[in-house]
Amino acid sequence: MIWGPDLFILAILVVLAIAAVISRDLLVATVIFSGYSLLMALAYVQLNSPDVGFTEAAVGAGVTTVLFILAISRTARMEEA
Amino acid sequence: MPESLFGEDVIVRTIARIVAPFIQLFGLYVLMHGHISPGGGFQAGVIIASSFILLALALGLPESKERFKKTIRLPMESSGPLIYASIGVTCILAGGYYLQYGMAFLFPPHVVSAILISAVEIGIGITVMAMIVTIFYSMAGD
DSSP string computed for chain A: --HHHHHHHHHHHHHHHHHHHH-SBHHHHHHHHHHHHHHHHHHHHHTT-HHHHHHIIIIIIIIHHHHHHHHHHHS-SBPP-
Interface of A with B in 52-81 (CB under 8 A): 53-55, 58-59, 62-63, 66-67, 69-71, 73-74
Question: How many domains are contained in chain A?
Answer: 1
Residue A78, beta-bridge partner list: A25
Whether B53 contacts chain A with CB within 8 A: yes
A14 touches chain B (CB under 8 A): no
Model confidence at B37, in pLDDT bands (50, 70, 90)?
confident
Nearest one of B45, B114, B96, B126 to B88, comparing CA atoms:
B96
> Is A79 domain-assigned?
no
Burial environment of residue B62 by CB neighbours within 10 A (0 to 12, 13 to 18, 19 or more): exposed
Contacts with A67 from chain B: Cβ below 8 Å: 135-136, 139
A17, part of any domain = yes
pLDDT at residue B7, rounded to an integer: 58
In this prediction, residue A1 has a pLDDT band, given cuts at 50, 70 and 90, of low
| pLDDT band per the 50, 70, 90 thresholds, residue A35 | very high
Write down the pLDDT at residue B3.
53
B42–chain A nearest CA distance, Å? 8
Q: Provide the ipTM.
A: 0.81
Residue B142: which pLDDT band, with cuts at 50, 70 and 90?
low
Torsion B112-B114-B119-B120 (CA) sign:
positive
* Residue A81, in any domain of the structure: no
Which structural domain, as residue segments, surrounds residue A63?
Answer: 3-74
Q: Does residue A50 lie within any of the structural domains?
A: yes
Predicted pLDDT at B111 = 79
Q: Are A51 and B38 in contact (CB under 8 A)?
A: yes
Give the model's pLDDT for residue A61.
86
Q: Which of A31-35, A53-57, B38-42 has the lowest mean pLDDT?
A: B38-42
Q: Distances in Å between the alpha carbon of B47 and those of A54, A72, B128? A: 10, 23, 10
Report H helices in B60-142: 61-67, 70-93, 109-140
DSSP classification of residue B101: -
Q: A5: closest CA among A46, A34, A33?
A: A46
Q: Residue B4 above 60 pLDDT?
A: no
